[in-house]
Structure 1
Amino acid sequence: MGNQPRWPGFIFVILGASFWGIGGTVAQRLFQEDGITVEWLVSTRLLIAGILLLVLSFIRDRKQVLKIWSDKKARIQIVIYSLLGMLAVQYTYMASIQLGNAAVATLLQYLAPVFIIIYLVLTKVSKLKARDIFAVVLALSGTFLLLTNGSLAGLSVPASSVIWGIISAIALAFYTLYAGVLLKKWGSLNVIGWAMIIGGIGMSIIQPPWSVDSSNWSIDTYLFLGFVILFGTMIAFWFYIESLKYLKPQETTLLGSLEPLTAIITSVLWLHISFGIYQFLGTSLILFMVLYLSIFKDKPEESLQIIRTEELGS
């Protein structure tokens, strides 16, 4: 990073995280008011955003774009990462939004560090530490308050939304752990771009982007779709990647926590989603858990940074 100014990095990560959070809220609006399906939105946004990221990578270094396909091991890894990582994270997150709301879905996805801790302990990569137990307690307490708003009478969102949100967190944990070697060797733009395209192709088998009834779409529908695809996906990933040139990964992770905050703020103010005091308290506990693990981490290989570049994903 040298002596280069750090302010561009702060701008990139703040904008990227904010676009992710707002993109989830805009997607919720598309699901609820325009009848757009999760399958169609996921396949379309992944394909378009993936192509744009690869075009950007080609402009920077045209020789690097196709290089990953010359390595047999990398070809297998990128397909696994695309389908079980990128596509799984995107689909489960959007399904949770459609069945519930963007605020809760985003926060449930942020439970990924808990599943990373469980995996590292079970595989004996690391030993269970007091800080890990504390983090899990924070996560469970925050999730309880978030989903119940302090009352056992019922959930704040449907159980199906909760299930998809938890699966989304598990998928993000896999996405984060599996991405390391690929990102380091082949470059973030290339890996994320190809993963989006492959994931988009995979979802297109179920729901082709060209097979959609747009007869009732308004100008707002097209504008919101453009925002989700360009700002909420492509630009959000790109800005997050760019921020790493100016900031430490730990700093980008901390500022990346703006994502759920923007999702909550836009959901409450724009879509008028009900969010009680206990839910705000639960949100605080979950975000504190993420910040706590980001600040107090041990060895590099045990880093619990949520890599959205992906992280970015959100």
Structure 2
Amino acid sequence: MVGSSRKTGFFLVITGATLWGVGGTVAQKLFQQYGVDVNWLVTTRLLIAGLLLLGIQFFLKDRSQIVGVWRSKRTAVSLVVFGLFGMLAVQYTYMASINHGNAAVATLLQYLAPAMIIIYLVLRRLAVLTRRDAVSVSLALIGCFFLLTNGSLSELSVPTPAIVWGVLSGVALAFYTLYAIPLLKQFDSLVIVGWAMVIGGFALSFIHPPWKMDFAGLPLEGYLYLVFVIVFGTMIAFWFYIESLQSLSPQETSLLGSLEPLAAVMTTVFWLREPFGSFQWVGTACIIGMILLLALQKKAADTDGNDTGEAKPLRVS
């Protein structure tokens, strides 16, 4: 039974991470081929996926937490801040980076967040820079250089707006990751992320209401892609990731979660036929190497009995 449970856990996390990566690529197709507005997609994606996640919590888990998170003023305020400056910021900057560039680069730039967290904690003197941390940050910087320049010192291989939004996405993800920890120690991940999505989508709906779209001009294929991004690339991906934690350790899920940027790169290059230079592949390898190194470092620390008791990891793409 244990072996079967672990097999299920591996299936769930691999499927969830892959769906996250492919979801970004499908969003790119919606932006660039079907003319879907990025503001509309982010609004709709957050509202629908958030409500679906809360629905899962209501029917399958502790439904009292859905209302319970609002009973304390402190947690309510924290949840609103997390929804606006964490969830909404990450989702919007990530999708804007895809809109101006491609899903591969946007996802990889977002994954600079772990290196940003290391730098932040060291500068705030909340952590000591270890040799492995230094190697991880170096891999992130080298990978970023090759990814954005393809080895050329004279020009960028990625549009500047895509770079700016992608780096901001990494910053937002770093905030998202650190700020969520106290909330996740008190409430289930589905509750926190579900409400954060609803809050972010509700706020953005004042700028771009979800009902304001040329639905008649979108072909059936476009609707299928929308369903994939919202349901499979967001709700199911996150649900599977969280469920995998029932049979796998957070470190195992984090390690296998590195399939997300790989899936985004592979589908962008081979499905959408986006050009990707040889040095950009080197940069991709460096960034994924950083992710694996940090995940293995955490696993080693836990094996040695140095677990810090952190909340379960969150994913957001």
Into which bin does the TM-score normalised by the smaller protein fall? over 0.9
Q: Which residue of 1 aligns with 2:149?
A: 148
Separation (CA, whole Å) in 2 of partners of 1:306 and 1:117: 18
Separation (CA, whole Å) in 2 of partners of 1:174 and 1:63: 28
- Does 2:201 align with 1:200? yes
Separation (CA, whole Å) in 2 of partners of 1:31 and 1:218: 14
Q: List alignment gaps of at least 5 residues for structure 2.
A: none
Separation (CA, whole Å) in 2 of partners of 1:132 and 1:301: 17
Q: CA deviation at 1:282?
A: 0.8
Native 8 Å contact 1:86 1:175 kept in 2: yes
Q: Which residue of 2 aligns with 1:123?
A: 124
Distance 1:209 1:85, change over 3 A: same
Separation (CA, whole Å) in 2 of partners of 1:283 and 1:175: 23
Separation (CA, whole Å) in 1 of partners of 2:309 and 2:137: 16
Q: Which residue of 2 aligns with 1:90?
A: 91
Native 8 Å contact 2:250 2:312 kept in 1: no
Paired residue secondary structure (1:177): helix
Q: Which residue of 1 aligns with 2:63?
A: 62
Paired residue secondary structure (2:31): helix
Separation (CA, whole Å) in 2 of partners of 1:140 and 1:24: 23
Separation (CA, whole Å) in 1 of partners of 2:91 and 2:10: 25
Provide the aligned length of Structure 1 versus Structure 2.
310
Native 8 Å contact 2:79 2:196 kept in 1: yes
Paired residue secondary structure (2:211): coil
Q: CA deviation at 1:101?
A: 0.2
Q: Which residue of 2 aligns with 1:108?
A: 109
Separation (CA, whole Å) in 1 of partners of 2:218 and 2:135: 48
Q: CA deviation at 1:82?
A: 0.5
Question: How do 1:154-165 and structure 2 match up within 5 A?
Answer: 154-165=155-166
Native 8 Å contact 1:253 1:306 kept in 2: no
CA deviations on 1:262-302 (whole Å, 9 max, x unpaired) are 11111111110011211111111111111111112455449
Q: CA deviation at 1:123?
A: 1.6
- How high is the TM-score relative to the length of structure 2? 0.94
Separation (CA, whole Å) in 2 of partners of 1:301 and 1:166: 28
Q: Which residue of 1 aligns with 2:28?
A: 28
The runs of at least 4 aligned residues of structure 1 exceeding 6 Å deviation read 1-4
CA deviations on 1:51-79 (whole Å, 9 max, x unpaired) are 00111101023222211111111000000
AA in 2 matched with 1:258: L
Question: How do 1:1-314 and structure 2 match up within 5 A?
Answer: 5-60=5-60, 61-297=62-298, 298=301, 300-301=307-308, 307=313, 309=314, 311=315, 313-314=316-317
Q: CA deviation at 1:7?
A: 0.7
CA deviations on 1:124-155 (whole Å, 9 max, x unpaired) are 11112222221111111111111111122321
Paired residue secondary structure (1:186): coil
Paired residue secondary structure (2:5): coil
AA in 2 matched with 1:13: V
- How high is the TM-score relative to the length of structure 1? 0.95
CA deviations on 1:31-68 (whole Å, 9 max, x unpaired) are 00111111100000000000001111010232222111
RMSD across aligned C-alpha pairs, in angstroms?
A: 1.8
Distance 1:232 1:14, change over 3 A: same
CA deviations on 1:205-231 (whole Å, 9 max, x unpaired) are 111101112231000110000000000
Between the two proteins, what is the percent identity of the paired residues? 56
Native 8 Å contact 1:176 1:306 kept in 2: no
